[in-house]
């Protein structure tokens, strides 16, 4: 039997993955598991999106254009304009989820050995796409004590080598929920400009910013227009993660031409997903407002609850629907596994994502977990009670 690839061996498995069998076992024992570990909102997909499925009147479910359906791309131009992101239809390439936009950005911009600087904790799958493309991720730790603010400019500069080709940010951030300030965005712009780097900017949580100041996109930054590649997805904003529709947006024609070669190689993004995503752009404001308010209430409820548990600490995240919290445990990997395999409180337990999966620097964040507030407040309340009881029991044993 021939050997599988070393690249595959090097690929990180999903940080949640080893916990899944434990969760399944708990459920098989009849234990109710509160899933604080996932990025799948519980909120309903908008009605206009669901309705669009009933009106697919085609004889053939044919390939769509490799760059995506033109009418959808045109409508996205208007969508982005609302956020003061001014793009032409040619700037927008539709991808199979935000994931593919990340992969194609790396493939089109980076060669094996090229380096990307990423503040950590960071979305674990960036690492997988870097390994796929042979690029190397260099991380700079951000710290829970500062609420995961952007590391200082000299921390970035200390990592820059002749191999450095890009900075990658996720804003609002997964996993921390951190939202970069105007000052921080200007700092990123200055480094990108000074060293002439690509800026990969994952902005899939754009709709979920909880400050009163307008959200700053990488597309707002002056003087680096040809350096920015925006990664987007409809998954989170319309609670339709399953349709796998994202976008790669850039003013840089060379990048687009390169990316299009990958788009043509995989022929086309999902047709039905695009139909749904296009319809979703007509989602009424009232839906978006409800979702927004729901998340703010959940966030406030969750963070307050967490900070009331002895030894726990979470900053107040200003975006997305996650937080990274510190728990009074030696090792969150062990604790998360223990919650699923050895603990229950009144027939319930919690599943959380150990933060170790979001760091590449060893030994950081070992007492941290990512918690997603994608459950309703009633369930969040129960989950908080379960977590408090679990910590009590864990620290007694």
Residues 147-186 interacting with a copy of itself (rule: CB under 8 A): 165-166
19 binds a copy of itself (CB under 8 A): no
| Interface with a copy of itself, residue 321, by CB under 8 A | no
Nearer to a copy of itself, 201 or 314 (CB): 201
How many angstroms separate the CA atoms of 93 and 113, rounded? Answer: 26
Dihedral sign (CA 349, 354, 357, 362):
negative
CA atoms within 13 A on the CB side of 124: 16
Site string for a copy of itself, 236-265 (x = CB under 8 A): ---xxxxxx-------x-xx--xx-xx-xx
Residues 270, 291: Cα–Cα separation, whole Å: 26
From candidates 77, 153, 159, 272, binder to a copy of itself by CB under 8 A: 272
Sign of the Cα torsion 337, 21, 383, 15 reads: positive
Which residue number, 123 or 180, has a Cβ lying nearer to a copy of itself? 123
Note whether 96 binds a copy of itself by CB under 8 A: yes
Among 97, 119, 151, 319, binds a copy of itself (CB under 8 A): 97
- Smallest distance, Å, CB 344 to a copy of itself? 25
Q: State the Cα–Cα distance between residues 288 and 238, nearest whole angstrom.
A: 8
Scanning 151-159, 171-179, 191-199, 214-222 for contacts with a copy of itself by CB under 8 A, the matching segment is 191-199
The residues, ordered by sequence, that sit 6+ positions from 295 with a Cβ below 8 Å of its Cβ are 208, 210, 321, 373
Q: Which of 87, 117, 78 is nearest to 219 (CA)?
A: 87
Residues in region 45-84 near a copy of itself by CB under 8 A: 45, 49-50, 53-54, 56, 58-64
DSSP 367: T
Q: Of 34-42, 281-289, 306-314, 365-373, which part binds a copy of itself (CB under 8 A)?
A: 34-42
Residue 252: CB minimum distance to a copy of itself, A: 7
Which residue is associated with the tokens 């039997």? 1
List, in order, residues 6 or more apart from 122 with CB less than 8 Å away. 137, 139, 168, 170, 175, 358
Name the residue nearer to a copy of itself (CB basis): 177 or 269. Answer: 269
Q: Which stretch binds a copy of itself (CB under 8 A): 128-136, 201-209, 348-356, 377-385?
A: 128-136
Q: Which residues, numbered 202-231, are part of the site for a copy of itself (CB under 8 A)?
A: 226-227
Residue 273 is a binding residue for a copy of itself (CB under 8 A): yes
Using the rule CB under 8 A, is 276 a contact of a copy of itself? yes
Within 8 A by CB and 6+ apart from 89, the residues are: 70, 73, 74, 77
The two three-digit tokens of residue 194, written as one number: 């000074």
Residue of 72, 80, 94, 99 that binds a copy of itself (CB under 8 A):
99
């Amino acid at each position: 039997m021939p050997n599988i690839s070393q690249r595959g061996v090097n690929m990180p498995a999903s940080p949640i993955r080893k916990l899944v069998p434990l969760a399944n076992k708990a459920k098989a024992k009849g234990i109710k598991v509160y899933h604080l570990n996932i990025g799948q909102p519980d909120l309903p997909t908008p009605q206009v999106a669901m309705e669009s499925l009933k009106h697919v009147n085609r004889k053939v479910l044919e390939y769509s254009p490799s760059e995506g359906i033109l009418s959808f791309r045109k409508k996205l131009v208007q969508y982005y304009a609302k956020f003061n992101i001014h793009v032409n239809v040619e700037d927008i390439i539709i991808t199979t989820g935000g994931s593919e936009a990340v992969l194609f950005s790396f493939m089109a911009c980076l060669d094996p050995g090229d380096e990307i600087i990423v503040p950590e904790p960071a979305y674990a799958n960036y690492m997988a796409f870097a390994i796929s493309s042979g690029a190397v991720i260099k991380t700079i730790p951000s710290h829970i004590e500062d609420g995961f603010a952007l590391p200082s400019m000299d921390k970035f500069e200390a990592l820059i080598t002749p191999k450095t080709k890009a900075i990658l940010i996720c804003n609002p951030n997964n996993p921390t929920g951190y939202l970069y300030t105007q000052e921080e965005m200007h700092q990123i712009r200055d480094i990108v400009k000074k060293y002439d780097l690509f800026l990969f900017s994952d902005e899939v949580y754009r709709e979920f910013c909880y400050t009163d100041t307008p959200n700053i996109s990488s597309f707002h930054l002056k003087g680096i227009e040809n350096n920015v590649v925006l990664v987007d997805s409809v998954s989170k904003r319309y609670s339709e993660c399953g349709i796998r529709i994202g976008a790669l947006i850039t003013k840089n024609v060379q990048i687009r031409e390169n990316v299009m070669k990958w788009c043509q190689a995989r022929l086309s993004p999902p047709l039905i997903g695009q139909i749904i995503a296009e319809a979703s752009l007509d989602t009424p404001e009232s839906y978006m407002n409800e979702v927004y308010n729901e998340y703010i209430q959940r966030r406030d409820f969750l963070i307050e609850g967490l900070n009331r548990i002895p030894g726990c600490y979470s900053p107040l995240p200003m975006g997305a629907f996650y937080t990274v919290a510190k728990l009074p445990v030696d090792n969150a990997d062990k604790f998360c596994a223990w919650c699923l395999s050895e603990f229950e409180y009144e027939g319930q337990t919690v599943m959380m994502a150990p933060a170790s999966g979001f760091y590449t620097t060893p030994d950081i964040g070992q007492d941290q977990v990512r918690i997603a507030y994608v459950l309703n407040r009633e369930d969040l309340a129960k989950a908080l009670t379960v977590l408090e009881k679990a910590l009590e029991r864990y620290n007694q044993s």
